Structure 1
Amino acid sequence: MSIVDRALWVMERNSEHALGLNNIADACGVSRSHLANAFGTATGWPVMRYLRARRLTEAAGRLAGGASDILTIALEHGYGSHEAFTRAFREQFNLSPEQVRDRGSVDGLATTPPLQLRNGNVLSPSPQLKTLGALKLVGLAAPCSFGESIHIPAQWQRFMSTYSDTIPNKVKMPPIGMCEVPDDDGGFRYVCAVAVKAFEDRLPELEYFETEHRTYAVFAHNDHVSTIFDTYLAVWNEALPRLARKVADSPVLEFHNSSFDPDTGFGGLEIYIPLQDHSGA
Structure 2
Amino acid sequence: MAPVQKALWYVESHSRDVLSLEAVARASCVSPYHLTRSFAEVFGISLMRYTRQRRLSEAAKQLAAGAPDILSIAFDYGYGSHEAFSRAFKKEFGVTPERVRTLADLSLLQLKEPIVMDSTQLPRLNPPREETLPALAFAGLVERYDCQSSAGIPNQWQRTSPLLGSISPLVSQDAYGICFNFDETDGKFDYMAGVPVEQGTTLPPGLVRFDLPTHKYAVFQHGGHISEIRSVIAAIWADALSQANQEPVSGPVLEKYGPEFDPQTGRGGFEIWIPVK
* TM-score, length of structure 1 as denominator length: 0.89
Partner of 1:253: helix, strand, or coil? strand
Partner of 1:30: 30
Contact 1:36 1:182 in 2 (8 A): no
CA deviation string 1:37-91 (max 9, x = no partner): 3222322222222111101011112222232222222222122332221112112
Partner of 1:267: 268
Quote the Cα distance in structure 2 between the aligned partners of 1:89 and 1:121: 33
- Aligned in 2, Cα 1:203/1:58: closer, same or farther, shift over 3 Å? same
Partner of 1:66: 66
For 2:271, give the aligned amino acid. E
Contact 1:46 1:186 in 2 (8 A): yes
Quote the Cα distance in structure 2 between the aligned partners of 1:221 and 1:227: 9
- The CA RMSD measured in Å over matched residues stands at 2.1
Query: Residue 171 of structure 1: CA displacement?
Result: 0.7
For 2:83, give the aligned amino acid. E
Quote the Cα distance in structure 2 between the aligned partners of 1:188 and 1:31: 19
Partner of 1:196: 197
140-149 or 113-122, which deviates more: 113-122
Percentage of identical aligned residues: 40
Partner of 1:166: helix, strand, or coil? coil
Query: Residue 231 of structure 1: CA displacement?
Result: 1.3
Contact 1:225 1:265 in 2 (8 A): yes
- Identify unmatched segments of 5+ residues in structure 2: none
Query: Residue 95 of structure 1: CA displacement?
Result: 1.7
* TM-score, length of structure 2 as denominator length: 0.90
Contact 2:248 2:275 in 1 (8 A): yes
CA deviation string 1:6-40 (max 9, x = no partner): 11122123323443444433432323443233222
Partner of 1:179: 179
Partner of 1:131: 132
Query: Residue 134 of structure 1: CA displacement?
Result: 1.8
Partner of 1:49: 49
Quote the Cα distance in structure 2 between the aligned partners of 1:153 and 1:84: 40
Partner of 1:220: 221
Quote the Cα distance in structure 2 between the aligned partners of 1:168 and 1:36: 38
Quote the Cα distance in structure 2 between the aligned partners of 1:82 and 1:65: 18
Quote the Cα distance in structure 2 between the aligned partners of 1:166 and 1:244: 42
Q: What is the number of residues matched between the two proteins?
A: 275
Partner of 2:114: helix, strand, or coil? coil
For 2:227, give the aligned amino acid. S
Partner of 1:156: 157
Contact 1:33 1:181 in 2 (8 A): no
Contact 1:220 1:269 in 2 (8 A): yes
CA deviation string 1:100-130 (max 9, x = no partner): 1222343432111111113167423321111
Query: Residue 169 of structure 1: CA displacement?
Result: 4.6
- Aligned in 2, Cα 1:94/1:265: closer, same or farther, shift over 3 Å? same
Partner of 1:205: helix, strand, or coil? coil
Quote the Cα distance in structure 1 between the aligned partners of 2:155 and 2:8: 34
Q: Does 2:11 align with 1:11?
A: yes
For 1:192, give the aligned amino acid. A
Contact 1:125 1:234 in 2 (8 A): no
167-176 or 242-251, which deviates more: 167-176
